[in-house]
Structure 1
Amino acid sequence: MKNLHITFILFFILSLSQIQAQVVISKPTLGFTQACASPSFNEYNVTFTFSPNTSLLSSNQFVLELSDATGDFTNATTIYTSAQGEITESPATITFAFPETVSGEAYKVKVKSTAPEASSTSSVSFAAYFKIQDTPFSINNLISKGVFCAGGSYLLTIDNPGNSNNDSPLQYSSLNFNWHKVLTETTSVIVHTGLTYEVTEAGTYFAETNYGTCTSNSYSNRVSINESVSGNSSEITSSLGNPYCASDGETTLSAISANAYQWYKEGELIEGAINQIYKTNKSGLYTVDIDLGTCSTSASIDLDTMTFTSDLNVEDEFALSDGEAVIVNISTNADLPVFQWFLNEVLITGETSSQLTVNQTGNYRAVVTQTNGCETSATHQFYVSEPFPSVENIPNIISPNGDGINDTWVIPKNYVSGSNAEVTIMTSQGKVVLRTNNYLNNWPEESIVFTSINPVYYYVIKTENNQTKKGSITVLK
């Protein structure tokens, strides 16, 4: 009987300690109405009460759990855990961050303790989204118009990959998108949800990253889609704009999405240009024939490369006598131009104006650079030679022995460079060794191999007015 009494007392003491070790946690109070987190802001508060605080063991930790997007805690996510014994006073407020995967309108949280084990009821539901991308992006390669054939469709897609010019949301696999059809300038209606949208009805459309009730700055450009019949025209866009700076490299011309293409420049077919895009750094009128399947269309763009004009006041080649000088001038409409002059590919130091006094022979090059706005350059070349020797008759003997006398076949000025006369020289066997409309009194330029006899060549000179001169040239040692 005594043993039974002792057992009862021990059972009573144990039961009393268990009752005293219980703790009650209140329903969490949210410090927010919805969570619109982002890489730059992700700090939120939850407040709860518990009692009695004397029931908490020194090893106790409070844990904050997050449900799924429907409020279900079956696979709850732990988003906060306090240190052991850290929270001992009620009420308590904890600060936490949402995971980047949150995306929904009906999340809930609950608070649990570990020593003793207890759990609150779940909080009120709330919307939570992590706006991992929250800047404008592009669709349809920024082409503002699209065309589909009657009974067909036009596929709108989000541009990818992301770069400095396009923060594509497709870089983030967790995101989904709403496609809108524009009703008025300020209103639209969601017509589709997904990565792409196949348009079957004419209208203006855009995409927006689905952040639910959170304000979103992640939206696309607008694209106007029309139903087409053969002969309707569409649009070509330039990736660098129009006009664009050619010194930035090639621009990409883009047509609407279609089955097949053929590009033209100034009406001339561009061989091999049969894709949706065509890259170029040349100005001009570009057109493209577009096959849409059951109908066709075309598009054009008058591309301006923001070039400037510049001209020299001298011919590409001219002669200069000893002691003579010519002022070469560059006229240009370049904005804040810079000038450089070269002689025989060597920079002429100190010459930085639009004029150069030329007083010696050689190959000259002038470079004009526009330095304001679009920085681009233009190059001009000209050659200055000595005057042609003045002879009255066509010689029939030369002696190319390097003594400086009669080394080349020198003919009258009305047959040399600038006269447009055609000069032909042949061997005695009829092999043509020279034919030119720009003879420079410089034949032979290479050594002639002599045998036991002096070789004989024959010439034919045809003038611009169809006069012909014929004869022979004997080459002496």
Structure 2
Amino acid sequence: MCRIIVLCALLINTSKGYSKTWSNQGGDVTYTISEGASIVLHASSINAAAYQWYKEGVRIDGAVNKDYTATVAGMYSVVAFNSGGCPSSVSDPVKVIVNPVTTPPVNPDTVVDLAVTIASSNMHAAPGDSYTYVLEANNKSPITGTDITVRYVLPENLVYLPQPGTGDVVKYDMATRTITWSISQIKQNDPTRLVLTVKVLTPGMVQSVVNIKGKQIDPVLANNVDQTVQQVYPLVISNVFTPNGDGVNDTFVVPGLETYSDNELTIINRWGNVVYQKTNYKNDWDGSGLVEGTYFYVLRAKNKAGVWDTYKGYLTLLRTRI
């Protein structure tokens, strides 16, 4: 004979907020929790050895413990079993309601769509040259944007050249290499511009990224970042010269070398011997005393920024007229 009774289904809340009500019909207990929260159902019984929980009258797989954590809405009940396997009657149901989390509406007065762009002067820059970037901040919404900050992290091969009269709105942090441009406000479609002057140290591609942020919520983040690329051109060194006396390509010429303040040229043969070396080379080496063949060159040149650029490669010397 089975002697087991489920006295009640108690609920112990495990989340921060819930509410409890009783139905006017039948006295059912209802608990309301927020979406993402949970609540623990606790079976209080006599002589129980096992349990089975149900939702809407359907057995819940694996829910065989005294406590069950509910996270979804529904009507929950439980059956207890004694050591002989005899079941109790089904407990009174407990209703769980889950309220969705709602996001409060955004006040349109706090929404400002800021946008930023960056463009280089796109000059044919060489190491040591100075050129400019133009930063433009704009507001594409009818609400005036305030407390706006534009940030640009200076690439490693650039030197920032501050311009007079910008100290109040443009700050440069040498430790982080960050240029910060502060703008008090921007009205709708009233762009403001800043011209930054930089000096480039080494050849290669200079990639610059700029971003913008204001006090108000920005509903469009895609236009809060922009980037541009400036190419800095190295010396272009020919890999063939023909010192055969025809007046064409008779010396080893490096175009643009005269724009470098100092240079050192070293020519090495295939056995690793230095066959020519010159400080402040003047594009006048004609390969005198050397046979036709392939040689290795090392050219060091100090650019206008005071940085030594190093160029290495192979050079073919031909005396036969083509």
Give the TM-score, by structure 2 length: 0.32
Which structure has more helix as a fraction of its residues?
Answer: 1
Which of structures 1 and 2 has the larger relative contact order (alpha carbons within 8 angstroms, sep 6+)?
2
Max radius of gyration: which structure?
1
Which structure has more strand as a fraction of its residues?
Answer: 2
Give the TM-score, by structure 1 length: 0.23
